Every structure is written in C-alpha cells, then in structure tokens.
Structure 1
C-alpha cells in the first residue's frame, strides 16, 4: 500500500513538473524579453509611485523607504492576481492532455501556481538585493514569518484559482469579469498606504479584506522597522484555509466533468 502511494505521488510530481516546464516554455520560450517583463512591470510601478512620493518630499512610509514599502506590497499582490488570472484558462489550455489518465485538471492549476510563485520569488530577490545595493537600508525581521505569510497567500490564491478554473469553462464571460473584479483590490489592499495611516473607522473596515491583512503581515514579518502593527496572522490563516477548502470542494465535485469535457455543463 505504501509503495503504491509513493509510486502514485512520484508520477503526480512528474506530471506537474512536465506541465510546469510546458507553461514556462509557452510563456517565455519564444520571447526572451518575457523574463525581463516579469521584472519591469512591478519595477515601473514602484518607480512611478516612488517618484510621486519624492515630489511631495516624503522620505519613508511607516518607517520604510518608499521603494521598499511599495515593492513589499506590489510583488505579493501581483502573485495573487497572476495566480487567479492564469487559473482562468488553466483547464481549457491543457484540455487535450486530459486524455491521459494521469493528467488531472488540478495539475494544470497547480503547475501555474508554482510558476507564478517561482516568478514572484525571483522578482522579490532581484528587487530587494537591488535596493540593498542602492543603499536603501532595512532591518530584516523574520524569515520563517515571511515564508508563513507567503504560503498562506499561495493557499488563499490557489483556492480562488480552483474556483475560477472550474467556473471559467462554463461561463466564458468569467475570463473578462474576474480581472475586472480583482482590479479594485489593488487600491484597497494597502499597497500604497499603511493601515495606521487610515482613520480608525475606515481602518477597521479595511482590515476585513484578507489582502489588506496579507500586505500588513508581509511587511511586519519582513522588516523590523515597519511601524504599522495591524496585521492578524490568525485571521489571514483562517481566510486562506476557507478559500482553499471551498476551492478544493468545488473542484472535487466537478473534477470528472472537467477532465472529460473541460466544462461542468
């Protein structure tokens, strides 16, 4: 029994790795500038926001230099956004592969989650190593805490990704609607501001947003000198587990229809 489980797990890992490589090649294989764009997109936004802050004479936000403050919010949010958006087409893009017994719709989603996570990690390392070289100083806080927040973010994003991966083949409009629905969260999830800068009545409301909690937590765990302390690890963990549970439940109910027809009709 143990040997059978181990063999099945090894096969599943091989399938996910093959899909990961396939996604990597399809995303960046033809256009080498794609790798550069993964860095340039957040870099341009950090640059614009930092320039605006510089014009108004601000030196830091909540104890952090503004490029570091913005990057620590933008990169995790992009990870969430890209996982959800890429999950929209994960099943349909790999539908032909579902004819193989070992390839499951969830594998297509997981491979894209892994790819987006690797990209975000690489971008984060490049950014903060670059900031350090440029002379922006910050005191690192907790590596384990940072990893915990990132893993919870991936779980939260994967749960939503599984839901939209199931719904998108049935309702094609979902592929247009979901990115539009995500966009407002870019402005209300603490990317441009710290929680303690909000009036108390608005701050309490804003902190119900799991992504706002994530942004606060990632800065708290990464930097000792971040002065805002409103993130709740337990709240974000509960939101992430609920998201993942619902995503897995929705997928499990519809997995056979997805694998055979790419739709839950």
Structure 2
C-alpha cells in the first residue's frame, strides 16, 4: 500500500532550493576537475595577489599584516562580485523550471546565492589553513562581527542581483550595464587601500559604497588596533535592510510578468 507524504509549504520550498542548489553544482563543475576548481581558483587568486602586495610593501599596513589586510579585502569583494554575477543570471538560466508550480524564481536566486556563500566559506577555511602552515599570524578579535559583515555583503549582492535579474527579463541590455558598473568596484572598495591612505576631501566619493564599509569594518573587527576611519556600521546595516526590502517588493510586484516574457 502506497503512502502519500504530506509536506508543508516551507518543506516544499526548502526541497526546491536544495534541488536547484545541487543542479547548480552539477552544471558548473561537470569537468574533470569538478567542484575542487571552485575552491582552487579563488584561493590561488587571493593568495597570489595578497602575497605580491605583502612582498612589495612588507611588514604591516596600518598595524595589521599586509597579507591579512589584502585577504580580508579580496574575500569580501569576491563574495560580492560572484554572488551578484550568479544571481543576476539565475532567473534566465533556470526559466524552464518555472513551469513547475512549486518552483518560483526567488528559489533559484537563493539557491545560486547559497552556492556562492558556501563556496567562499570553504575558500576562507583553505586560506586559513595555508596561513597556518606558512606561519602567518591569524588574529580574529570579534569573529561574530566579521560573520555579520560577510552576511551583509552577501545579502546586498543577492538583493542587487535579484533586481538585475528581474530587470533583465524585461530589458536584456541591462546585463551589459551591470557588467560596466561592476568592473570598477574591485578598485574602489578598499581592497588595495584604506581610507586612511587617502585625503579626507575625497572620502565622500567612496563612502556611498557599502562594500568599502564592510571591508574596513571586518579588518577592524579582526584587529582593533587597525583604527578604521570614515566608515559606519549603521550605514552598512541600513543599506542592507533597505536594498533587501526594496528587492523583495520589486520581486513581489513583477516576478509573474518576468517569467512570462
């Protein structure tokens, strides 16, 4: 005798997200290197750039090891950029799945964003292991705050990516605009510099960027002697809440029209 398993709406939603999450892994890493390439590529990129900067300058940058200074910046900006890029294409990529009643576009966006978050957690673990073996001091004064800042960056990227994904369904050229706007972020988000290195009269042109605030605050949370200036935890949290709320409102109003186009 067959039994019918009744699931709640939440269980169905979680099952859908997990299924798309697994599908994302299989689709991205179907070659011989497999999922290990998802970790090896960002680890090598972060390590090489950080090591080069520390070799050139040596010693410390504003009281923290230069290598660590770079690692925090590289991890944060990569989390933001990869999540933004993946989520902005998630609706179009998984459009054929939306013919199933249980599958909605937001599940696709969340699943893709979760994959990028899990990927960066593994990258951070590998980098910490490398730093331990090459005897680079690892100091984390306030790990909870660092985690909160990383989640804030992830939420901002997820929300912004969902906005671009919805807009892309109506105007495909929006994706080119996203690419153009995304490129300078690597250089204006404090990855290679601190606001302490710049004259105060140009801070106003950079302080609108929440990623800059998150990077500087994460360095401060790890090393209280860093003394970050010109950044605000309140601004970061308010920006995160605002963009998340705005993206959810836009999604609620337009997701049905977006998938029908």
Shift of 1:229: 4.4
Shift of 1:140: 1.2
**Match runs of 1:16-35 below 5 Å:** 16-32=17-33, 35=36
Aligned length: 255
Shift of 1:211: 1.2
Aligned to 1:216: 216
Taking the aligned partners of 1:50 and 1:172, their CA distance within structure 2 comes to 39
Aligned to 2:145: 145
Gaps of 5+ in 1: 1-5
Q: Which moved more, 1:102-111 or 1:42-51?
A: 42-51
Q: Deviations over 1:77-116 (max 9, x none)?
A: 1111111111222111111110111100111100011000
Aligned to 1:54: 55
Q: Deviations over 1:24-81 (max 9, x none)?
A: 11111334255235333353354235324423x4322122222211111111111111
Taking the aligned partners of 1:193 and 1:164, their CA distance within structure 2 comes to 29
Seen in structure 2, the aligned counterparts of structure 1 residues 173 and 38 have a Cα distance that, compared at 3 Å, is: farther
Q: Do the aligned residues in 2 keep the contact of 1:158 with 1:247 (CA within 8 Å)?
A: no
Aligned to 2:91: 91
Seen in structure 2, the aligned counterparts of structure 1 residues 69 and 125 have a Cα distance that, compared at 3 Å, is: same
Seen in structure 2, the aligned counterparts of structure 1 residues 239 and 178 have a Cα distance that, compared at 3 Å, is: same
Taking the aligned partners of 1:47 and 1:120, their CA distance within structure 2 comes to 17
Taking the aligned partners of 2:137 and 2:81, their CA distance within structure 1 comes to 29
**Match runs of 1:4-43 below 5 Å:** 7-32=8-33, 35-43=36-44
Aligned to 2:187: 187
2:77 aligned counterpart, secondary structure: helix
Q: Do the aligned residues in 2 keep the contact of 1:159 with 1:244 (CA within 8 Å)?
A: yes
Taking the aligned partners of 2:130 and 2:61, their CA distance within structure 1 comes to 19
Aligned to 1:81: 81
2:228 aligned counterpart, secondary structure: coil
Q: Which moved more, 1:140-149 or 1:113-122?
A: 140-149
Shift of 1:176: 2.7
Q: Do the aligned residues in 2 keep the contact of 1:77 with 1:186 (CA within 8 Å)?
A: yes
Q: Which moved more, 1:72-81 or 1:40-49?
A: 40-49
Aligned to 1:235: 235
Taking the aligned partners of 2:232 and 2:186, their CA distance within structure 1 comes to 20
Task: Give the TM-score, by structure 1 length.
Answer: 0.89
Task: Give the TM-score, by structure 2 length.
Answer: 0.90
Aligned to 2:65: 65
Taking the aligned partners of 2:128 and 2:29, their CA distance within structure 1 comes to 23
Tell me how large the CA RMSD over aligned residues is.
1.9
Structure 1 ranges of 4+ moved more than 4 A: none
Aligned to 1:3: none
Gaps of 5+ in 2: 1-6
Shift of 1:118: 0.4
